[in-house]
Amino acid sequence: MSNNDRRPSEWHPSTIPPDEQRRWERAAAIGFGSVEPDDHWSVDQIEDLGRRAWAVEDAGVIVGTSADLVWHLTLPGGATMPVGAILAVTTRATHRRQGVLRSLMSAQLRAMATEGLAAAVLTASEGTIYGRFGFGVATSQHRLEAPVHGHGLDHVRPGRIELDDASVFRDEIVKFRRRSARHRPGTLERPEEWWDQLVLGDQVSFEGGGPQFVSLHRDDQGEVDGYALWRTEGLWGERTIVIRELHTIDPAVELALFRHCADIDLATSVRWDTAPADSPIPAATTDPRRCHVTGVRDQLWLCPLDVSALLAARTYGAPLDLTLRVDDHASGWSAPTIALRLTARPGEQAEVEVLDETPPSRSQDPQPDLVCDRTTLGMAVLGTTPWSTLVAAGRASVSNPAVARAADAAFASHPPANSQDYF
C-alpha cells in the first residue's frame, strides 16, 4: 500500500454494496482508533436503514471511509425536510493530508446535490475539519451541571415520574420523541433501526447504548410528556448521573426531570451535555454557582446544498425583504455562487426568487443587501448565530446596518435550535 503524496484528483471514491460492508466497517473502526467496530450491522439492517457507504482504496486497502443516510430535519416553524446525514468519516493515518477526505466530501456532496437534497448535516470529531467544505455550526449544546442534593431546585414540583431500565420504556420514548420533534428546530428523525442498534443497543458508543435508565414523566391523564435517558459514570459513591438526552415541550417537565436526576442517591453530581440554549434550569435554581452552565460546544453542522429550497422551507419571525448572494468558497466540490431575493411575512415561509446562479462581476451588479458563503449560511439558517454577529466576525457583509438587524429578527428561532443526536 502506497502512502506517497497523491493529488485529490487521483483518488476515486466509490460506494460499497451492503454485502461487502464488513470490510468497510473494519476500515472505519481503524480510522477511529479501534481494531473492530463497536456495532455490527447485518445486510438487512443496512438496507432497511438506507446507509450508503463510501470508500477510497489504495492497492486494495480502504484508506478513507464515509457514509450517508437520508433523515428529516426540523426547521424553524416546524416543517421538516430530507437532508443527507454524513457519518463515519475517517482517513487512515498513513494517508492523512493527501486529499482523501476532500475526494470523499466532493463525491458525497455532489451526489446529494444531484439527488435534490437541500442540505447535508454531520457531527464533527474536530472543529477545524469541515468549514472548508461549506459546513457551519447550525446548533450548539449547553452543558449543565449540578451537585446531587445541592442543586437549588427543591422548590420544583417533581410530578409523576417512573424510572426503569431504558428497554422497559422503549416504545413510549420513541413515540414521544417522534411526536415532539417538530417543536424543536435542529431535531433529526431517528429510524427504528437507529434506536435499537445504537441509542438503546447493547454496545456503549458515542451514539448511546449499554446500560441506561429512563425517567419517564407523565401528565395528570397518564400520558407521557417528557423523558430523560441517562446512565451513571464513575466509581461507587462518586458517580455522576449523565443525561444523554432529555426531551419535552413543557419547561416545567424539563425542570422536574432535571431535579429528579439531581436527587438520585449514591451519586455526587448530575450532568446534561446536550441542553438547549433556552433551558430554564439556570434561571430556576436558587444557587446559580452550583447549578449552572459549564460549557458550550458545537453539535450539528450544516452545509447548504440547494440554497433556495432550504431558505424557502423554514418560516421567519419578522418581515423580510432582501437580496442575498451566497458565494462559492467551498473547496472540493462545485457549489455554484447564487444570488436570490427573499421576501416573507412573519410566521410564514419565504418566497425565493433566484436572480442568478452564475452572477456577473460585482462591478456590473448592484451590491446585494447581504453577502456570505455557504459555511456562514449554515451557521445562520436555523437561527443559531445572529447575522449581526456574523457581520461583526467578518463572515458576512451587509449594504447597511439595518439589513443585519432585520435579518436577525427574521431568522431568529423560537424555540432556539438544538440537536441531541449523535451520529
Q: Which amino acid is at 34?
A: S
Instruction: For residues 318-341, give the mean pLDDT.
Output: 87
| Alpha-carbon distances of 321 from 40, 328, 391, rounded to whole Å | 50, 23, 18
Q: The dihedral of CA 333, 336, 337, 341: what is its sign?
A: negative
DSSP result, 14-45: EEE-GGGHHHHHHHHHHHTT-SS-SS---HHH
Percent of the chain's residues with pLDDT above 90:
80
| Alpha-carbon distances of 68 from 34, 279, 354, 359, rounded to whole Å | 21, 31, 29, 31
Query: What does the DSSP 8-state code read for residue 199?
Result: I
The full 3-state SS of 261-272, as one line of letters, equals HCCCCCEEEEEE
Asked if residue 359 has pLDDT above 50, the reply is no
- By the 10 Å C-beta count (0-12 exposed, 13-18 middle, 19+ buried), 26 is classed as middle
d(CA 14, CA 11): 10
| Alpha-carbon distances of 265 from 149, 236, 323, 411, rounded to whole Å | 9, 11, 57, 43
Asked if residue 298 has pLDDT above 50, the reply is yes
Question: Can you name the residues that pair with 144 across neighbouring β-strands?
Answer: 272, 293
Percent of the chain's residues with pLDDT above 70:
94
- What pLDDT score was predicted for residue 206? 67
- What pLDDT score was predicted for residue 361? 44
- What pLDDT score was predicted for residue 362? 46
Cell of 322: 432582501
Instruction: Tell me the residue length of the chain.
Output: 423
Instruction: For residues 36-51, give the mean pLDDT.
Output: 81
Give the sheet arrangement for strand 213-218, strand by strand. Answer: 160-165, 213-218, 224-233, 239-248, 267-275, 140-147, 292-298
Nearest to 301 by CA among 149, 166, 128, 183: 128
d(CA 100, CA 8): 6
Q: Residue 9: pLDDT band by 50, 70, 90 thresholds?
A: low
- What pLDDT score was predicted for residue 269? 97
- What pLDDT score was predicted for residue 363? 37
Q: pLDDT tens digits for 360-401?
A: 444 355 789 999 999 999 999 999 999 999 999 999 999 999
First to last CA, the chain: 30
Q: pLDDT tens digits for 53-96?
A: 999 999 999 999 999 999 999 999 999 999 999 999 999 999 99
Asked if residue 106 has pLDDT above 60, the reply is yes
- What pLDDT score was predicted for residue 335? 80
Cell of 287: 444557587
Q: Are strands 397-398 and 370-373 parallel, antiparallel or unpaired?
A: antiparallel
- What pLDDT score was predicted for residue 8? 54
d(CA 283, CA 297): 20
Q: pLDDT tens digits for 119-154?
A: 999 999 999 999 999 999 999 999 999 999 899 999
Q: Residue 182: pLDDT band by 50, 70, 90 thresholds?
A: very high
Q: pLDDT tens digits for 146-180?
A: 999 899 999 999 999 999 999 999 999 999 999 99
- Neighbouring CB atoms inside 10 A of 345's CB total 14
Instruction: For residues 354-358, give the mean pLDDT.
Output: 83
Q: pLDDT tens digits for 16-35?
A: 988 888 899 999 999 988 88
Kindly give, in sequence order, each residue whose CB lies less than 8 Å from that of residue 111, ignoring residues fewer than 6 positions away.
none
Q: Are strands 351-356 and 338-344 parallel, antiparallel or unpaired?
A: antiparallel
Q: pLDDT tens digits for 190-239?
A: 998 899 888 988 777 766 778 999 999 999 999 999 999 999 999 888 89
**Which pairs count as long-range contacts for 165-168, CB under 8 Å and 24+ apart, including other chains?**
165/211, 165/212, 165/213, 165/214, 166/200, 166/212, 166/213, 166/214, 166/229, 167/200, 168/214
Residue with more model confidence, 358 or 352: 352
- Neighbouring CB atoms inside 10 A of 20's CB total 11
Question: Can you name the residues that pair with 56 across neighbouring β-strands?
Answer: 64
| Contact present, 66 and 89 (Cβ < 8 Å) | yes
- What pLDDT score was predicted for residue 352? 97
